[in-house]
A and B are shown apart, each in its own frame.
Chain A
Amino acid sequence: MSSVLNRASSNFLWRHPWQLALAIVGIALGVAVVISIDLSMESSLNAFDQAGKAFSGVATHRIIAGDGGLDEKLYRRLRVDDGIQKLSPVVSAYVFLSKQADAGFNLVGIDPFIEKSFQSIWQTRQNKNTSADLLTRLITEPNTALISEQTASRLGLNIEDDLTIDTDHGERQLKIIGLLSPNNAVSEQVLSRLIITDIATAQEVLEMFGRLSSIEVLIDKNQPDAATTSADTPSLVIAKPVPDRLLADTPSLEIAAPVPDRSAAYTPSLEIIRKALPGNALLVEAESQSQAMREMTRAFSINLKALGLLSLLVGMFLIYNTMTFLVMQRRGLIGSLRSIGVTRRQIFKLIIGEALLLATIGTLIGIVLGLALGQGLLYLISGTINAIYFRIDAASLMITPLQLGKGALLGITATVLAVLPPAFEATRISPVTVLVRSQLESGIRRLIKAANLISGIFILGGMALALLSGKSIALGLASIFLLLFGFAMMTPALTLMFMKLIEHVFGRLSGILVRLPARMVSAEISRTGVAIAALMIAVSATIGMDLMISSFRQTVADWVQTSLRADLYVSLPGEKMPGTRAEEDQRLKAKLAELQGVKMLSSVLHTNTAIARDGVYAEAGAAAENDFTKVAVFELNEKSRQGFIFKHKTDNTLWDRFEQQQTVIVTEPYAYHHGVKIGDKIRLQTDQGNEPFEVLGIYADYSGDQGHLAMSRRNYRHYWPDLGYSGIGVYAKDGVDLQHLENQINKLLTGQQSVQSDQAIYKASMAMFEQTFTITETLRWLSAAIAFVGVFSALMALQFERTRQLGILRAIGVTSGQLAVLITGETALMGLVAGLIAIPVGYIVAYMLIFVIYQRSFGWTMAFHFHSGVIYQGLALAVIAAMLAGILPALKMSQTKPAEALRSE
Chain B
Amino acid sequence: MSTEAAITIQQLSKGYQESGQRHEIFKDLNLQVSLGEFIVLLGRSGSGKSTFLNLVSGIDQPDSGEIVINGIQLTGLSEHDRTLFRRHHIGFVFQAYNLISTLTVGENLLLPLELIKRTSRQERNNVAKLLDQLDLADRFDTYPDRLSGGEQQRVAIARALIHDPDVILADEPTGNLDLDTGQQVLELFDTLVTKAGKTLIMVTHSPEVLGKADRVFSIRNKSLVIAREGVYAAGL
Q: Is B30 part of the binding interface, using a Cβ–Cβ cutoff of 8 Å?
A: no
- B92 interface neighbour in A437, A809, A812, Cβ under 8 Å: A812
Nearest-Cβ distance from residue A763 to partner chain B, whole angstroms: 57
- B112 interface neighbour in A516, A520, A810, A813, Cβ under 8 Å: A813
- B59 interface neighbour in A523, A524, A811, Cβ under 8 Å: A811
B145 in contact with A511 (CB, 8 Å): no
Please report the C-alpha to C-alpha distance between residue A524 and residue B100 in the assembled complex, in whole angstroms. Answer: 13
A residues 262-277 touching B (CB-CB < 8 Å) = none
Stretch at the interface among B41-49, B103-111, B133-141, B223-231: B103-111
Q: How many A-B residue pairs have CB under 8 A?
A: 82
Please report the C-alpha to C-alpha distance between residue A437 and residue B159 in the assembled complex, in whole angstroms. Answer: 21
Q: Is A438 part of the binding interface, using a Cβ–Cβ cutoff of 8 Å?
A: yes
A813 in contact with B145 (CB, 8 Å): no
CB-CB under 8 A from A810, the residues of chain B are 59, 83
CB-CB under 8 A from B92, the residues of chain A are 811-812
Q: Is B222 part of the binding interface, using a Cβ–Cβ cutoff of 8 Å?
A: no
Q: Is B143 part of the binding interface, using a Cβ–Cβ cutoff of 8 Å?
A: yes
Please report the C-alpha to C-alpha distance between residue A490 and residue B119 in the assembled complex, in whole angstroms. Answer: 38
Please report the C-alpha to C-alpha distance between residue A340 and residue B105 in the assembled complex, in whole angstroms. Answer: 35
- B80 interface neighbour in A436, A512, A817, Cβ under 8 Å: A817
- B84 interface neighbour in A513, A523, A809, A815, Cβ under 8 Å: A815
B114 in contact with A511 (CB, 8 Å): yes
Q: Is A333 part of the binding interface, using a Cβ–Cβ cutoff of 8 Å?
A: no
Nearest-Cβ distance from residue A329 to partner chain B, whole angstroms: 15
Interface bits B44-70 vs A (CB < 8 Å: 1, else 0): 000000010010010110000000000
Q: Is B19 part of the binding interface, using a Cβ–Cβ cutoff of 8 Å?
A: no
Q: Which residue of A lies closest to B110 (CB)?
A: A512
Please report the C-alpha to C-alpha distance between residue A805 and residue B103 in the assembled complex, in whole angstroms. Answer: 11
- B83 interface neighbour in A511, A523, A804, A816, Cβ under 8 Å: A816
Please report the C-alpha to C-alpha distance between residue A812 and residue B100 in the assembled complex, in whole angstroms. Answer: 10
Given the known inter-chain contacts A811-B92, A816-B80, please indicate yes or no for A523 contacting B101, CB distance below 8 A.
yes
Nearest-Cβ distance from residue B15 to partner chain A, whole angstroms: 14
Please report the C-alpha to C-alpha distance between residue A520 and residue B107 in the assembled complex, in whole angstroms. Answer: 14
Q: Is A897 part of the binding interface, using a Cβ–Cβ cutoff of 8 Å?
A: yes
A812 in contact with B115 (CB, 8 Å): yes
Please report the C-alpha to C-alpha distance between residue A814 and residue B100 in the assembled complex, in whole angstroms. Answer: 12
CB-CB under 8 A from B103, the residues of chain A are 512, 516, 519
CB-CB under 8 A from B51, the residues of chain A are 899
Q: Is B86 part of the binding interface, using a Cβ–Cβ cutoff of 8 Å?
A: yes
Q: Is A898 part of the binding interface, using a Cβ–Cβ cutoff of 8 Å?
A: yes
- Secondary structure of the A side of the interface? helix
CB-CB under 8 A from B159, the residues of chain A are 812
Q: Which residue of B lies closest to A812 (CB)?
A: B112
A516 in contact with B102 (CB, 8 Å): yes
B115 in contact with A813 (CB, 8 Å): yes
Q: Is B98 part of the binding interface, using a Cβ–Cβ cutoff of 8 Å?
A: yes
Q: Is B132 part of the binding interface, using a Cβ–Cβ cutoff of 8 Å?
A: no
Nearest-Cβ distance from residue B142 to partner chain A, whole angstroms: 10
B100 in contact with A899 (CB, 8 Å): no
Q: Which residue of B lies closest to A817 (CB)?
A: B80
Please report the C-alpha to C-alpha distance between residue A897 and residue B116 in the assembled complex, in whole angstroms. Answer: 21
- B98 interface neighbour in A513, A524, A808, A899, Cβ under 8 Å: A808
B59 in contact with A899 (CB, 8 Å): yes
Q: Is B24 part of the binding interface, using a Cβ–Cβ cutoff of 8 Å?
A: no
Nearest-Cβ distance from residue B118 to partner chain A, whole angstroms: 11
CB-CB under 8 A from A902, the residues of chain B are 54, 59, 94, 98
CB-CB under 8 A from A814, the residues of chain B are 83, 87, 115
CB-CB under 8 A from A813, the residues of chain B are 83-84, 86-88, 112, 115-116
- B79 interface neighbour in A436, A804, A816, Cβ under 8 Å: A816
CB-CB under 8 A from B99, the residues of chain A are 808
A512 in contact with B111 (CB, 8 Å): yes
Please report the C-alpha to C-alpha distance between residue A602 and residue B101 in the assembled complex, in whole angstroms. Answer: 78
B79 in contact with A438 (CB, 8 Å): no
A805 in contact with B80 (CB, 8 Å): no
CB-CB under 8 A from B88, the residues of chain A are 813
Nearest-Cβ distance from residue B152 to partner chain A, whole angstroms: 11
Nearest-Cβ distance from residue B148 to partner chain A, whole angstroms: 12
Q: Is B129 part of the binding interface, using a Cβ–Cβ cutoff of 8 Å?
A: no
B residues 73-95 touching A (CB-CB < 8 Å) = 79-80, 83-84, 86-88, 92, 94
* Given A808-B100, A815-B84, 13 new contacts (CB under 8 A): A438-B101, A439-B145, A523-B102, A811-B59, A811-B92, A811-B98, A813-B84, A813-B86, A814-B83, A814-B115, A816-B79, A899-B51, A899-B59
Residues of B within 8 A of A (CB): 51, 54, 57, 59-60, 79-80, 83-84, 86-88, 92, 94, 98-103, 107, 110-112, 114-116, 119, 143, 145-146, 159
11 CB-based A-B contacts, threshold 8 Å: A436-B145, A437-B101, A516-B102, A810-B59, A811-B57, A811-B98, A813-B115, A813-B116, A814-B83, A899-B51, A899-B54
10 tightest Cβ-Cβ pairs between the two chains A and B: A813-B87, A899-B60, A523-B102, A438-B145, A808-B98, A898-B59, A511-B114, A519-B102, A815-B83, A813-B115
